[in-house]
Amino acid sequence: MADGARIVCRIFGGGERALLLLHGNGEDHTCFQKQFAAFSERFRVIAMDSRGHGESSAGSGVTIAKIAEDAAAVLGALGIERASVVGFSDGANAALGLALSHPGMVEKLALAGANLFPAGVKPRFQLPAELEYRALRLCGRSSERLRRRAEIVGLMVEEPRYTPAMLGAISAPTLVLAGDRDLIRPAHTALIAASLPHAKLVTIPRSDHWIFDRQPVRVNREILAFLG
């Protein structure tokens, strides 16, 4: 990337249609390890390590907007003009950013555990992140490693900053997924689905936020049926 960040991705399968996978906060592409086989039977799957995660470097810093731009750059570098995008948690938030900034690149969206703003997260999950972020920012004054960690945690505290009205500009058909015990407030997930012009909401039973790992058979089936 122009700011010096090195973005690493891995490719599975050789289908004519492209499918970009964007993982959540503090993870890497392996959070989709239970999806690679199923998805790559039909798609050319691009699994990206977001900047500051996995094997990708942080460059000038980590924000949701920069992750979205990195995703567009990865697709461009691979010669992919249009792809469907599956995003989990912060990856879902970045997928929304990609659909807003590069609408022509997005065919369909599957968003799991997305939020429009930090208050969409249930307090018992959000408060520990806020406390950790404050401590890391303080300690990061004397430690580059902790400063970088603060940037990652800060994605959950300071971002994203979308509005329901912004989502009205997204024309891509969208599947909105969440666990029935998700850390995202159910009403907030419903707001996301209601704000997208062409959205379908599916709640995965007996599952928390980590539906790709905990309920892979059901999740894979829902996403593949939606993508067609």
Q: pLDDT tens for residues 116-159?
A: 999 999 999 999 999 999 999 999 888 989 999 999 999 999 99
E strand or H helix that includes residue 72: helix 64-77
What's the whole-model pTM score?
0.96
Distance, first Cα to last Cα, the chain = 33
Q: Phi and psi at residue 199, in whole multiples of 5°?
A: -120, 150
Residue 65 pLDDT greater than 90, yes or no: yes
Amino acid symbol at 2: A
Characterize the bridge pairing of strands 9-12 and 43-48. antiparallel
Domain ranges of the chain: 9-119+160-227
Q: 188-198 as b/e, with b when 16 or more CB fall inside 10 Å? A: bbebbbebbee
Which pLDDT belongs to residue 33? Answer: 98
Would the CA dihedral through 49, 54, 59, 63 be positive or negative?
positive
Which pLDDT belongs to residue 140? Answer: 87
Which pLDDT belongs to residue 46? Answer: 98
The domain 9-119+160-227 having CATH identifier 3.40.50.1820: the answer here is yes
User: Rounded distance, CA 185 to CA 176, Å?
Assistant: 13
The 10s digit of each residue's pLDDT in 204-215 is 999 999 999 999
Which pLDDT belongs to residue 3? Answer: 96
* Cβ within 8 Å of residue 164, ≥6 positions away: 116, 191, 194, 195
Residue 102 pLDDT greater than 90, yes or no: yes
